[in-house]
Chains A and B, each alone.
Chain A
Amino acid sequence: MSAHESVANYSPARARDRDALVARGAPGLPRLLAGIPPRGALPLEQHLALHGPLPSLGRRGSGRALVGARRGARRGDPALIEEVERAGLLGRGGAAFPTAAKLRAVAAASRSAIGRARPLVVVNGAEGEPASAKDRALLRSLPHLVLDGALLAARAVGAREIQLGICESAPTALDAVSCALAEHARVRGGGADGIEMVLRPVPPRYVAGQESALVNHLSGGPALPTFTPPRPFERGVRGRPTFVCNVETLAHLALIARHGADWFRELGTPEQPGSALVTLRGPLPHPGVYEIEHGSLLTALLDAAGGLAAAPRAVLLGGYAGAWIDGSWLSELVLSDAHLEPYGASLGAGVVAVLSADACPVAELARLTRWLSSQSARQCGPCIFGLDAIATAFEQLALAGVAARGSVRNVRVSGSAGRDAHRTADASHGRAAIDRRLRALAGLVRGRGACGHPDGVARLVESALEVFAPELDEHARRGPCTACARPSELPAPKATPTPVPRAAAPIPPSR
C-alpha cells in the first residue's frame, strides 16, 4: 500500500460533502472518520447503517443484535479482551498503554476486591491539550462510535456504569454527546443494556485530562492529580476499579469488536497497528484533524493538507509534552513511535504542529513554557518552582524582544528573574549559562511531580535546546529578533501569571 495514498481527511474549517470524503480515501481509510458529516453529528440510524449493529456478547463481528447483555454484564467478556489484545490496540491519549492490559487489570481488580467492587468505565474526553482537537472532533461528529466503544468496554470489564468526562469548554461536543445519549435511550430502549451512561463536564485545565485528576474530579474532588498508587484501575471513582480510556481508543475498540483483530492489523505497523487521528497545525491550507495509517510518511499527511505554505523550521510531535524535531528532517519522518524514537519523539496525543521559519521559536517557547507553568496543579514543589524557573529563563531570552517592541501579547515576565532580565549580560557567557540552567532545571523537574506534567515540559525544553540552538544564540547575542512580535503560531491561551509562593529556605549544608 503506497504511503502517499493512505490518508483521508476531515477539516473542521471547511464544509465537505460525504461522497467526496469517501472517494478521496485510500484503501483501508477512512476507518474512524468514515461517514463523517460535514456539519453536526452522525445520527444513530446512519451510524448503524454504516458500521452495523453493536456486536453481542461473546460473538465477534456476528452482526447479531444485542442479546443477553444483562446476564453477561456481571461476568465481563474475556473473549472481547482477547480480541483487543490480538489487535494490539494502544491507548491514544498520549501514553500508548496497551488497552487490553488495562481492561484485564480492571476486570481482575473487580474480581479480587470484596464488597463494592463493581467496576466502572470513564470516557476521557477532557482533551486539555490546546493543540489537540481530535477528541473534540470525534465527540462532535461521531459520538455514537465513542458510545459504542464505551459500552463494549463496560461489557468487557463487567461494568454497569459509564461516566463520560467531557471538557466543559467544548459546548458542541457536550451537546452532540447528550443528543446521542438521548437517541440511544430512545432507540435501544432505556436500560436495555442495563448500563447507565452519565455525562459529566470536566474543567478545561491542562492537567484535568490526567487519569487520576479525572477520577478525582468525578469522585467529587478537585480536577487535580492524586498520588499513585493506588492507580485508577485498582481504586478509582469512589474507590471502585475504574477503566479510564481516551475517546479515540474507544472508537477504535468499537470497530475492532465489529470487524476483528485481523482487520485492524491490515493497516499500520506490527508494533503499532491500525490507524490514528492526528491534529495537524501549521502553515497549511487545510490544517485540522486527519486520520492516518501508522507508519505513513509525514510528507504524505502534509500533502493531503495542501502542502506547506512556508518553509518549516521545526515540527512539534505529540503535544506540548512532546518533542521538537528539526525541519530539515521532515521528509524522512515516518509517523510511528518506533521510527520516531531515535529522534527522541513519539506520536503521543497525536499533535503534529509545524513551526514555520518565519516564527521566532524563542518567543513561542517563552509563551508555551509560561502557559505550561500556569497550568501546574500547584501541588508539588518541584513543578511549581521548576516550571516557573524554566519559563522565566525563556522569557529572559525573549524579553529583550518585548522591551524593544513595546508589547508582545502573552509574554509576561514574573518571578525574581524578571527584574534581572533587563541587565545585559555577556552574550556567550549568558547563553551558555542559560543553556546550563535550562538543562539542569529540566533534569530537576523530571519525575518529581505526582503526574507527568513536569516530565512533559522537561522533554519539550530539552528538545528545544537542541533544535533551536541557533535562535537561542542569536537572542543571547543580539537581543530581540524581528519575528518576536509576530502572533503566535502555537495556541497558548493567555496565561495569567499566578503568583509563585516563596520557597521554604533550605538549610545551608552542614559539611
Chain B
Amino acid sequence: MTPLHRLRVNPIACEAHGMCHELLPERISLDEWGYPILDGAPLDPALLDHARRAAAACPTFALLVERRQR
C-alpha cells in the first residue's frame, strides 16, 4: 500500500508563528491564540509538497510530516 502522510505538531516546540497556516491553509487553521489546529486525517498527495514546505518554514520545526504505512 502507498504510504500515507500525516501532519503532526509538536505542541512544546510550537510558538505560534503561524507560517504553517499561511503555507497550508487547506489543512491547518489557527485557534484564537494563534496555535495550529490539525485534524489528523491523511494528507492529500497533491498537498504533500506544500506540507513539506510548511514544515521547513516553521522556525522551530514544530510541524512534522510523518509517513505511516497503513
Contact = CB atoms under 8 A, between A and B. Distances in A.
Given A504-B15, A504-B16, A507-B22, A227 B33 contact: no
A498 interface: no
A266 to B, nearest CB: 41
B37 interface: yes
Contact of B17 (A225, A227, A504): A504
Interface string B2-37: 000000001111111110011001000011111101
Given A382-B35, A504-B34, A506-B34, A449 B11 contact: yes
A386 B32 CA distance: 10
B18 A506 contact: yes
Contacts of A379: 11-12
Nearest to A505: B34
Contacts of B12: 225-227, 379-380, 450
B33 A506 contact: yes
A382 B11 contact: yes
Contacts of B14: 380-381
Nearest to A447: B40
A233 interface: no
A506 B11 contact: no
Contacts of B22: 507, 510
B16 A503 contact: yes
Nearest to A440: B32
A385 B35 CA distance: 10
B34 A503 contact: yes
A381 B18 CA distance: 13
A381 B11 contact: yes
Q: Give the interface centre of B16, B18, B30 by most chain A CB atoms within 10 Å.
A: B16
Contacts of A74: none
A444 B30 CA distance: 11
A439 interface: no
B31 A382 contact: yes
B10 A381 contact: no
A506 B22 CA distance: 11
Contacts of B11: 227, 379-383, 448-450
A382 B33 contact: yes
Nearest to A454: B11
Nearest to A224: B12
B7 to A, nearest CB: 13
A382 B15 CA distance: 11
Contacts of B35: 381-382, 385, 448
Given A507-B18, A507-B22, A381 B34 contact: yes
Nearest to B35: A381
Interface string B22-56: 10010000111111010000000000000000000
Given A380-B14, A504-B15, A448 B34 contact: no
Contacts of A386: 33
Q: Give the interface centre of B12, B14, B21, B22 by most chain A CB atoms within 10 Å.
A: B12
B13 A506 contact: no
Contacts of A225: 12
Nearest to B29: A509
B64 to A, nearest CB: 10
B13 A385 contact: no
A475 B35 CA distance: 32
Interface string A465-504: 0000000000000000000000000000000000000011
B39 to A, nearest CB: 11
A444 to B, nearest CB: 6
A383 B16 CA distance: 13
A382 B62 CA distance: 14
A444 B31 CA distance: 8
Nearest to B31: A444
A226 B13 CA distance: 10
Interface string A228-248: 000000000000000000000
A503 B33 contact: yes
B5 to A, nearest CB: 16
Contacts of A503: 16, 32-34
Nearest to A507: B18
Q: Give the interface centre of A383, A448, A449 by most chain B CB atoms within 10 Å.
A: A448
A227 B10 contact: yes
Contacts of A510: 22, 25
A383 B30 CA distance: 15
Contacts of B25: 510
A506 B10 contact: no
Which A-B residue pairs are the 6 nearest by beta carbons? A380-B11, A503-B33, A506-B34, A381-B35, A504-B16, A385-B33
16 contacts: A225-B12, A380-B14, A381-B11, A381-B15, A385-B35, A386-B33, A448-B11, A448-B37, A449-B11, A450-B10, A503-B32, A503-B34, A505-B34, A507-B18, A507-B30, A510-B22
Interface of B: 10-18, 21-22, 25, 30-35, 37
Interface of A: 225-227, 379-383, 385-386, 444, 448-450, 503-507, 510
Given A380-B12, A504-B17, 14 more contacts: A226-B12, A379-B11, A382-B31, A382-B33, A385-B35, A448-B35, A449-B11, A450-B11, A450-B12, A504-B34, A506-B31, A506-B32, A507-B21, A507-B22
